[in-house]
Structure 1
Amino acid sequence: MSRIWFLLGALAGLSAVGLSAYAAHGLAEAARPAVGQALNMQGWHALALLAVGFLAERRVGRAVSFAGLAFAVGMAMFCGAVWYGALTGESAGRIAPIGGMLLMAGWVAFGLAAWRR
């Protein structure tokens, strides 16, 4: 299972770098602050997924798998909603806040998994 978290973390980091270049050179100036926040979240949670991979190698239980899932889905929802709004000018509704709550739940689960280790 740890390889999945390593792979997702690497893909999230890779896409954060590529999207950062696009945001700097191909995105309207007005959209850059919001997108910058999304990219910041994506970069940090790419690292969090790598940490989940390392903790999962120690077989610490279901909490670490929940943390990885919450990080991956929450990152996609939060960052995706921000990008959607930046590119279309429309709101994605409650997707970003739900994604943010999943990211926070992931941190709680990660803390519990680390504590139980």
Structure 2
Amino acid sequence: MQKFLLLSGAILGGLGVGLGAFGAHALKPMLEASQRLDTYETAVKYQFYHAFALLITGLLAYRIENRLLTYAGYSFLGGTLIFSGSLYILCLSGIRWLGAITPIGGVLMIIGWVLVAWVVATGE
């Protein structure tokens, strides 16, 4: 599981660089015209935060054996895919109802942080 968490974090981080650069250069005129540049930047920012969260969780999993770290990793990954993914699609397609599922991703991210905090606090 540790390898999966670390690999997921590395992939999300690499994709974050690519998507950030793509948004800043190729998509910038379109994103500015649709007034979605801030939304796109939020998607990239949260993707990066949770790429690091996955890397940290993967490293913790080498030191602390606890299935809650696995659940935290899945929460971070799923949350990022839903949160950032829905924002990317919203920005590129204009499909507004996707904004309604974005908070589900945010809740999953919060769950991931709570689980990591629990494992660290209890040492279990």
User: TM-score per shorter chain, which class?
Assistant: over 0.9
TM-score (norm 2): 0.90
The residue identity in structure 2 corresponding to 1:99 is: G
Q: Structure 1 residue 100 and structure 2 residue 101: aligned?
A: no
Which of the two has higher C-alpha Rg? 2
For residues 62-101 of structure 1, what are the structure 2 equivalents within 5 Å? 62-91=67-96, 92-101=98-107
Q: 1:59 aligns with which of 56, 64, 68?
A: 64
The answer to whether the 8 Å contact 2:87/2:99 transfers is no
Distance 2:82 2:21 in 1: 21
Partner of 2:20 in structure 1?
20
Distance 2:61 2:100 in 1: 31
Which 4+ stretches in 1 moved above 6 angstroms?
Answer: none
Structure 2 gaps of 5+ residues are none
Structure 1 gaps of 5+ residues are none
Q: Structure 1 residue 116 and structure 2 residue 122: aligned?
A: yes
Partner of 1:57: helix, strand, or coil? helix
Distance 1:44 1:115 in 2: 21
Distance 1:12 1:46 in 2: 5
For residues 45-56 of structure 1, what are the structure 2 equivalents within 5 Å? 45-56=50-61
TM-score (norm 1): 0.95
Q: CA RMSD for the aligned pairs?
A: 1.0
Distance 2:121 2:66 in 1: 11
The answer to whether the 8 Å contact 1:60/1:116 transfers is no
The residue identity in structure 1 corresponding to 2:100 is: R
Distance 2:79 2:65 in 1: 22
Shift, 1:47, TM fit: 0.3
Shift, 1:59, TM fit: 3.4
Distance 1:77 1:25 in 2: 24
